[in-house]
Structure 1
């Protein structure tokens, strides 16, 4: 039997002060296997660099996604110490990266959502630089603090349309080639040729510039992008196109641009700690973090027909006639 009236009925509208949420899905099932033996230290670099570089209007959600007790206890300890970690979700079994992320995406109201792997080191000013891109390009829906010379290849039909018809698209000298080299090293693969370390594809609106495309190991999204995502539960833990279907394509389908900052403001660490990581973390924590949240303008997505036109043109210019088109843009080497 209920007595009285629920106070929520007279104060039913949800209002929040935060403007930016960071979502970390953590899967570290044990600390014995070679692949995971150093994951606790790597995650330490991740969470502590994040907490040292975000503004007060940020909130952090962490999903304990099938983690061992040591990692779960570690995360709860961080939550007790840092007020910006306002959500910790626990699941005994590994639900997969996408399902873990979407449990947060669908239940929060912040206009910007940063989705990151748990092996990322956040560098000073990453948040300011990312939010600045959203201010400079209201059409943007996905922005990474880590530029990639090959980012133009994936889910960028809307971005290409914008570059061709509403702004300008060009090649430009890579600002931080060491960032590209770091990512290449962290994944243990030769991703980039010499030309990729020298030039990347950039769009301009006449006043500001950003790199075309980005990866999805760390990226910030407008919340409305996810209205274009699949409604079914993802059937895969990782890979099998899950991140493309649930993260990359919804941004493109919604008519938003996929961009990255000109400079490199985060490192992908992989699973093997290096001496420089501890040194860099100490520098980050010793620095002054006095950034303020920026006012993000309402989005200005492209229309559906513009996305379709961009899809057709991207197949021509980025695939079939890429060499000719890039030569027209001033790059004569295979890219």
Structure 2
């Protein structure tokens, strides 16, 4: 039997005090083999994040059935940090995407950063990312890590925007060493980047306000407008990390909704992989020496202005022309690449 009236019925409005949510799924089942140093990497990730976020940020950690020691660490950080306000513990590994969907659907912040548990953040990563959203109201996905080979992945809207509203050109990579570190962190036998990719990347410029960003981005760390999750797919992911699951639930919804996919020109985060290297410790010491950067960077996120379906159609057509066998070299030369350089 219910007695009385729930007082929350008269307090029904929800007002988010923060505007930027960071979601971190983590899966470290043991400390052997592939996961031997994963816990130390995860700790660097969390500590660097806490040192670099502004006051209008909140963090969600989704524990995908981690080892008990990892769970204990997560609970301690939850108890001691005002910024880690949500922790989910699952007794089964439901995968990265389901963790992100579960956390994003239940929060109110207009910006949601999704990040792997092996990312080392640098100061001002939020400032740089949020500046891109302010400079491009059409942006739906922005990474603090530029990648010179992301120009053809779910970027139809970008290509159309460059034709009708912006300028597109090759520019010098500002931090080639960061690209080299990222390449090595993947552990691939063959390098991801050729020499030309370490020298030049494709930059998109807003003609009106002159703001610039790198064309395309990856999604091991990226900030998205919450509309991508609200209006994207509503079904769960039935695979964990393979078969294009991230494309289906993150990349494709962003493109279908008419948003741009961009990255900052400077590098503001590192992918560490599953082992600790000396340079990572050096970068973290720089963060600790500088202290916590807790200033609010943005007073208001500009209203989103997605492009209509015409732009997506036109962008796909433009991409097909640019990347055609007979025209690619000429198109890239027009965009500023030397005619003798293969991109």
TM over 0.5: yes
Task: Count residues in correspondence.
Answer: 334
Listed one character per residue, the Cα deviations across residues 26-54 of structure 1 (whole Å, up to 9, x for unaligned) are: 0101112x100100100011000000000
* 1:75-224 alignment, distance < 5 Å: 75-189=74-188, 190-206=191-207, 207-224=210-227
Q: Secondary structure at the match of 1:152?
A: coil
TM-score (norm 2): 0.95
Unaligned stretches of 5+ in structure 2? Answer: none
- CA RMSD, aligned part only? 1.2
Listed one character per residue, the Cα deviations across residues 145-194 of structure 1 (whole Å, up to 9, x for unaligned) are: 00000111200001111111111111111111111111001002301111
Aligned to 2:51: 52
Q: Distance in 2 between matches of 1:136 and 1:176?
A: 22
Unaligned stretches of 5+ in structure 1? Answer: none
TM-score (norm 1): 0.97
Q: Distance in 2 between matches of 1:106 and 1:314?
A: 33
Listed one character per residue, the Cα deviations across residues 203-246 of structure 1 (whole Å, up to 9, x for unaligned) are: 11131100000000000000011234222211111021001111
Aligned to 2:281: 278
Structure 1: 4+ residue segments shifted above 3 A = 318-321
Q: Contact 2:105–2:230 (CA<8 Å) still a contact in 1?
A: no
Q: Contact 2:185–2:271 (CA<8 Å) still a contact in 1?
A: yes
Taking structure 1 as reference, are residues 118 and 7 closer, same or farther at Cα in structure 2, changes over 3 Å only? same
Q: Distance in 2 between matches of 1:285 and 1:81?
A: 18
Q: Which moved more, 1:107-116 or 1:186-195?
A: 186-195
Q: Distance in 2 between matches of 1:116 and 1:220?
A: 9
Q: Distance in 2 between matches of 1:290 and 1:109?
A: 21
Listed one character per residue, the Cα deviations across residues 80-127 of structure 1 (whole Å, up to 9, x for unaligned) are: 111100000010111011001100011101000000000000001101
Q: Contact 2:127–2:297 (CA<8 Å) still a contact in 1?
A: yes
Aligned to 2:301: 296
Q: Secondary structure at the match of 1:56?
A: coil
Q: Contact 1:125–1:291 (CA<8 Å) still a contact in 2?
A: no
Superposed displacement of residue 311, structure 1:
1.7
Q: Does 1:247 align with 2:256?
A: no
Match of 1:230 among 228, 233, 237: 233
Superposed displacement of residue 319, structure 1:
4.8
Q: Secondary structure at the match of 2:329?
A: helix
Superposed displacement of residue 200, structure 1:
0.3
Q: Contact 1:228–1:251 (CA<8 Å) still a contact in 2?
A: no
Q: Contact 2:55–2:294 (CA<8 Å) still a contact in 1?
A: no
